[in-house]
Structure 1
Amino acid sequence: MFDGIERRVVSLWFPRLASDRALRLNPIDGPFALTLKENNANRIYCLNAAAEAQGLHKGMTYSDARAFCPDLRSHVAHPPEDQRFLQGLRRWATRYCPWVGLEGEDGLVLDITGSTHLFGGEGAMLAQMRNRLARAGMTVRIGLGDTRGAAWALARHGEGIAPAGAMLDAIGSLPVAALRLGAETSVALQRLGIRKVRELAATPRAPLTRRFGPAALMRLDQALGDQPEEISPQAEPPHYGVRLTLPEPIGLIGDVMAGIQGLLGQLCPKLQAQEVGARRLCVTLGRVDRDSQQVELRLARPLHDPHRILPLFERGLKDLDAGFGIERLRLEATVVEPLPARQINHVSAGRKDKLDDLISRLGTRVGLENIQRFLPADSHIPERSFIISPAAYSEPVRHWCPARPRPVVLFAPEPIAGRTPHPPQRFRWRRMALTTGRAIGPERICPEWWLEDEAWRSGLRDYWRVETQEGRRLWLFFTPQAPGWFVQGEFA
């Protein structure tokens, strides 16, 4: 009961959620399926009606599906994208009622109590839902009842509207699996001859409880309304935006910075409460002439400290055109990342904070992507033993020790004279005459056969560390399959 009104619940089930989403982006005529790798085998994850008509079903291997249906077209499934799409459907469903929650990975549940009259009754509301979803290319099955369990059962095993107060009559003819029971429990009940919900309701409760526990009868009572079951609406994601309306227009950069300082004082506590930090901030400056300007700040690390964020806005405000004055300020954290509380050392934390702030300041001038650092990579090939990554989106590796010494400077191989397997005693390199003083090696490095690399098609290499009498410490290699010597690096 809700203030004397019978509670009414709608269940929306999208049996082809993933394939419908994929076909909305790239329409395909004929059999279509999404595949997902499970236990080292590609299996059907979701398929359209044309593929089901060919005898295909969810869970079968992709090779078997192609044998049954040679014309089958497929794409790789992306479950995270499907869940984001389901969240979009949830937001759309709030047009019918404010209480909308997720029902598993492919359904929604709505508490429409007291809102059906706004759409001309229950039948008209469900018809509007179905028509709108059909125009969007979505396959949906809808059930409506007094309880969440009854609506779920109707959506997945019958469809339709259950009259108020008659849940057993509406779902009594449905299989026991409609009560949201586990597969093992449903099979065990069927082996006992209990195949319908009505038969389960008529069976003595004590023997069922001793054999199956209280879960089976609890689901039955929830579906019939004898036990309450709440519907928790999905919480809206927090919005990290604040605004300020000024009593008088301003035009000085100092006044704008003071306004941003006040907005940061409101925004940063919200970020701290959610244990997130801002990676991108946007300030919108509304002018008196109804025009507006935006200043965007991208940070090297997530932050929620107003004292560190405020000075970083100065450069972006230098080119500010206030016009006849600024009367509105709006600050929004457009990109946030988790920033949980952590135990820090005051010395190391201070140094790291200064480096992050420096990267942020330089990033406002040249772009964060242009400030890069070298990181080690898992490869014994010299050219592949490192990667270049943006410093703002990576962490330095402080305790990395290669198995063998590597030169500080690495360049493309440069040939020198010599064809014997031992390093030449005298050779010329970059117009310099050098004499070998000490040579350490060889270190044989073989190509990575699983990669196509033009530079290593000639085969293996024998590397030597050569210290010359002139003071140069070079990294040389010899190619046995095509005798020749090359210089590829220099040690410090």
Structure 2
Amino acid sequence: MAQDGPRRVLAAVDRAAWGLGLRPGMSAAEAQSRVAGLVVVEAAPEDDLAGLARLADWCLAYSPLVALDPPLGLWIESAGAAHLHGGEARLLADLCRRLRAGGLAARAAVADTPGAAWAVARLPRAGRIVAPGRQGAVLAELPLWVLRVEAGTVARLHQLGIERVGQLAAQPRAPFRLRFGEGALRRLDQALGHAPEPLAYRAPPETHAVRLAFPEPIGAPETLARVVARLSEALAQDLERRALGGRRFDLVFVRVDGAPQAVSVGTARPSRDPRHLAGLFAERLSLVDPGHGIDEARLAAVRVEPLDARQIAALADDTDPDGMALLVDRLALRLGPGRLFRAAPVESEWPERAVRRVAPLAPATGASWPAGLPRPGRLIDPPEPVVALAAVPDAPPGAFTWRGARRRVVAADGPERVFGEWWRSDAEASAFRDYYRVEDESGARYWLFRDAPAAEGGRWWLHGLGEA
């Protein structure tokens, strides 16, 4: 409940009240006459704004550029940081999932312009991504209110039969401007990307940040690279004094028109190597649009961990423990998150369960594969069925057909019997496999198994290729 001049009105309603026909802006007297025993709570807009600001600070985990859109919205500039989350689609899905897990209903969208994202996010279907350059086609059939045009102007346009964004875009501008003013056309141009829409991005709580301001605007790629190198050196010195290393770094260029350009990079391990940081950002500087020039640059370590000084390797044959981390960071930046992994052993009897993907630099768990049991260089999961012919039951096959090609076996070794894991299911209590390593006439090697004795109708499967 809020005060609107001399009237008391509903500032917001929950889902149950909406279902009863109550709407924001309705007078309190009318609402209470419609619903007997209506429970009303005094609105606290200052507290709501403070809560929205806290949520905006939480969203800094996704991007260094977050702005408030009171009373219910947030802007997140994801262009330079989406790659850290697996792309825009994954970022959007993870953001909505975590908000729902926290008890917040949320709709989100990604588009080239703030206005287009605002409009699409308020459609019934959440999680939409507007393809680059397609905001005009997407907005054309939407109602005028999605442009954030004043309600009075929308009502007047409805009287003239202009109800959709596409109809507004088709109007002659000069007479329209004389009659309705500049507001609706400005919102249209902002949504289509024909006019800028400056946003007041929140300053993140940067405790580890450095900044450079320039007397003249800069924009050349080689100049930006030199700026990044200077910022990286200054930030590395600050982190070294505090015995810290960064895991995520946000670089923000502020253009002369006030529009920020942000780039984010992450590292597999805490780092404060300035050359390494500058190299990572060099891979992403192509995403920066300097416009008419850049007059300020900021670099911040927004996720830090303790990193003590260490002895540099003195001998040529000493292994640098950070060398692999540097390589992982460069490859992850180029290939994307989730593309790099290593195979880690899992204590399991069945081969397809005995390995799992882990992060490249994940610490060892102490588990290992059984010694003395050769395994193929390539495991096929799930195993593929083959047609095999054996001269003697339960012996290695003399030939088998896989993917339409017949292969004659010239050498074989086995069987190696592997039992099912009874604690997983009753079906595995009596299951077993007999594995054979076989070689065909071309020298290619295969790992075959039969899942039951021949007399019981056991079938043959191909589970691996090559030697360990």
TM-score range, shorter chain: 0.3 to 0.5
User: Please, what TM-score do these two structures have when normalized by structure 2?
Assistant: 0.48
User: Please, what TM-score do these two structures have when normalized by structure 1?
Assistant: 0.46
